[in-house]
Amino acid sequence: GQNIDQPTEMTATEGAIVQINCTYQTSGFNGLFWYQQHAGEAPTFLSYNVLDGLEEKGRFSSFLSRSKGYSYLLLKELQMKDSASYLCAVTDSNYQLIWGAGTKLIIKP
Amino acid sequence: IAGITQAPTSQILAAGRRMTLRCTQDMRHNAMYWYRQDLGLGLRLIHYSNTAGTTGKGEVPDGYSVSRANTDDFPLTLASAVPSQTSVYFCASSADSGGPTDTQYFGPGTRLTVL
């Protein structure tokens, strides 16, 4: 079966750095997405990785290791507005998106 | 309109009733999707459409139907609602049908409660 694992919830302090991990087991791999979803709102696109390595975009970075079936989202200089759920999703061999359940990130002052 | 709109925003429905959730996009995207999101579970694909005139079944299609008469609209119909269909429903679209870099853009969602 296809499976994507993320921690259910994480807590971090404003101004700090947090790393949200995602491991996946899918039938094929055609890319990995990270989305942000604030409570009561729609998911919004954050990043896309298809090759191994780190993609940096401002305060957010995303890393991929295809051989390990592993990705992480790194958030720096945390702000209160970063409190949200972060969804990991993988495009499988049929180009269908398989979604993780999401990680709820709580930022404390 | 800019992006994707969904209607209604929320709805309380008696079991056994028929309900259509509406979704419209103005980005001229080829592909559209319907997901449901339940607490503790990831987004689950109900139905999708790679282009106008075609539809396909996702992971949880039972009890739902869709149509894609034109590029912009992708309504989701519950023929006879049951309490297990209580969920938040998101419509999404992407420029191409399933390309590897195909970012999906989401509507604001419809919160449906079936009693």
pLDDT band at B20 (very low <50, low <70, confident <90, very high): very high
Q: Which residues of B3-14 are buried (b: 16+ CB within 10 A; e: fewer)?
A: ebebeeeebebe
pLDDT exceeds 60 at position B1: no
- Predicted local confidence at residue B76, as pLDDT: 98
- Predicted local confidence at residue A93, as pLDDT: 85
Min CA distance, A52 vs chain B (Å)?
15
- Predicted local confidence at residue B98, as pLDDT: 60
Question: For B100, which of A89, A91, A102 is closest by C-beta distance?
Answer: A91
- Predicted local confidence at residue A95, as pLDDT: 79
B6, B27, B89, B106: best mutation site toward chain A, by most A Cβ within 10 Å?
Answer: B106
Give the mean model confidence (pLDDT) for residues B20-37: 96
**Percent of chain B scoring above 70 in pLDDT:** 94
- For chain B, what is the mean pLDDT? 93
Cα Rg of chain B (Å, integer): 13
Higher pLDDT: A31 or B101? It is: A31
A34: Cβ contacts below 8 Å, ≥ 6 apart: A22, A46, A47, A48, A62, A71, A73, A86, A87, A88, A89
Min CA distance, A109 vs chain B (Å)?
26
Higher pLDDT: A3 or B91? It is: B91
pLDDT exceeds 60 at position B100: no
pLDDT < 50 stretches in chain A? none
- Predicted local confidence at residue B97, as pLDDT: 63
- Predicted local confidence at residue B96, as pLDDT: 81
Per DSSP, the three-state class of B84 is: helix
A105 vs A86: CA distance, rounded Å: 7
Nearest Cα neighbor of A90 from A34, A12, A16 is: A34
pLDDT exceeds 80 at position B38: yes
Q: Which residue has the tokens 């979803």?
A: A37
- Per CB-CB distance under 8 Å, the chain A contacts of B42 are 4, 87, 89, 98-102
Give the mean model confidence (pLDDT) for residues B9-18: 97
- Predicted local confidence at residue A94, as pLDDT: 80
**Percent of chain B scoring above 90 in pLDDT:** 86
